[in-house]
Amino acid sequence: MQRGEALRHMVDERSSCEALCRQHYGRVLQLCRALLVDRDEAEEVAQEVFLKMVREYQRQNPIHSWEAWLTRVTVNACRDRRRSGWWKWWRELHSEFYETDWPSSVATAEEHALRGETREQIWRCICALSARQREVFALRRIEGWSNEETAELLGLSAGSVKRHLFHALRHLAKALGER
Amino acid sequence: MKSCVSDDTLLLCYLDEAPASVRSHVATCASCASRYQQLNQTLAHAEQELQTGCPPHRPSQRTSFSHWWFPAAAAIAAVVVIFWSVAVRPPPEPLVHTGVHDPEVRRFLAREVSPALSVTNGLSVTPIPAPVSSAGYVYAALAGGWPCEQTNSLVPLQCEVAPFFFFFAD
């Protein structure tokens, strides 16, 4: 009887952990993409984050909000990744993007090229932001956290969050408005 | 508010942090409304791309890096090293004789080490051999003794005819 309950508990736990992964994987992956501006690195870091999540889940530590926990762990993992490959990061800042593999639903080649150029410029603008500005922008405008929540997640004051967000948006508006 | 607002103020409007007077001006002024709409469209498009899009692939830096950057850097480094070693490098400094400056060490060397190095007590003195003149070799060769190197090889001498005669002597 006890063995059956333990097995059922284990299955429930595993299924809930998988559900948690499915629920948050897309969001975490997109956050990694915005913070790293590299799809391959983003996938690697997202997998690392979910590996940590599974370990934390198995430890059965009380987590108040998995969403906030995952966001915090993702931001830290992206910071670690940037620090570990600083020379690679510097090298990639001066490289160009490939736009050939973007899916396109438009008809003409001219529209396809124009849309690809716009996307490339958007990602290049994100790449040109400082790390802190990028984190604030991603959490506030992509993830949808409030100023106070973003400040708590990043260990900043709410005023700093506002200032970083304003500078990031001004940079984006200037760079994208000059097209 | 009659004059049009700045771009930064429009940005504050976008973030919902502008005062009510500014918002009402932007709503009524055609120029500011147009600028605000354009700003809103630009930033919304960027945010939409970042929410759903994927960063494009980058070209493989490893191939470009390894194909031209590394050999070029190695060649430049080699040229610089050769140029430096040939033209720029200063001549080697002469060896500096470092004397002993410590008076105590100097005293020890003078009293103990130098006499120990040059001591001759107890050594058996052997006389230096006197140089042998060439005539000695000639006499020795004619008498059939040693050495025989300076004799003419065409003329057989006694020492070469029977060099081991004492083996066969009765």
Question: What pLDDT score does B157 carry?
Answer: 53
Asked if the structure places residue A35 within a domain, the reply is yes
Sequence-distant (6+) residues with CB within 8 A of A99 are A116, A117, A119, A120, B56
Task: Establish if A162 touches chain B: CB-CB under 8 angstroms.
Answer: yes
Two tokens, residue B155 = 């003329």
- Any chain B CB within 8 A of the CB of A126? yes
Q: Do A119 and B56 touch (CB under 8 A)?
A: yes
User: Out of A61-65, A106-110, B28-32, B165-169, which region has the weakest mean confidence (pLDDT)?
Assistant: B165-169
d(CA A12, CA B50): 35
Rounded Cα gap, residues A126 and A120, in angstroms: 10
Closest CA to A144 of A71, A91, A85: A71
- A129: in domain: no
C-beta neighbour count of B49 within 10 angstroms? 19
Per residue in A146-173, pLDDT tens?
999 999 999 999 999 999 999 999 999 9
Query: Mean pLDDT over residues A101-129, rounded?
Result: 75
- Per-residue model confidence (pLDDT) at position A120: 85
Report the SS3 class of residue B62.
Answer: helix
The answer, for A173 touching chain B at a CB cutoff of 8 Å, is yes
CB contact under 8 A, B58 and A138: no
Which domain covers residue A33, as residue numbers? 1-85
d(CA A164, CA A157): 11
State how many domains chain A has: 1
- Burial of B54: CB neighbours in 10 Å, binned 0-12, 13-18, 19+: middle
CB contact under 8 A, B61 and A38: no
Q: Which residues of A110-132 are buried (b: 16+ CB within 10 A; e: fewer)?
A: eebeebbebbbbbbbbbbebeeb
Q: What does the block give as tokens for A114?
A: 């124009």
Q: What is the pLDDT, as a whole number, of residue B134?
A: 75
Q: Indicate whether A11 pLDDT > 90.
A: no
CB A122 within 8 A of CB B49: yes
Residue at A157 is within a domain: no
**Would you say A37 and B55 are in contact if contact means Cβ atoms under 8 Å apart?**
yes
> How far is Cα A91 from Cα B62, in angstroms, rounded to an integer?
11
Average pLDDT of span B132-142 = 75
Q: How confident is the model at residue B5 (pLDDT cuts 50, 70, 90)?
A: confident
pLDDT at A170: 93
Can you give the CATH number for the domain in which A73 is found?
Answer: 1.10.1740
d(CA A165, CA A158): 11
Per-residue model confidence as pLDDT tens digits over B46-98: 898 888 888 877 654 444 445 567 788 899 999 999 888 888 777 777 666 66
Q: Is A15 part of any domain? A: yes
The conformation of residue A87, written as its DSSP 8-state character, comes to H
Q: Side-chain half-sphere of A57: how many Cα atoms within 13 Å?
A: 20
pLDDT greater at residue B140 or residue A149:
A149
Contacts of A129 in chain B (CB under 8 A): none
Q: Which amino acid is at B78?
A: A
When mean pLDDT is compared across A58-67, A71-80, A157-166, B115-124, the lowest value belongs to B115-124
The pTM assigned to this predicted structure is: 0.59
What ipTM was estimated for this complex? 0.75
- Mean pLDDT score of chain A: 82
Reported confidence tier of residue B152, pLDDT bands at 50, 70, 90: low
Tell me, yes or no, whether A119 lies in a domain.
no
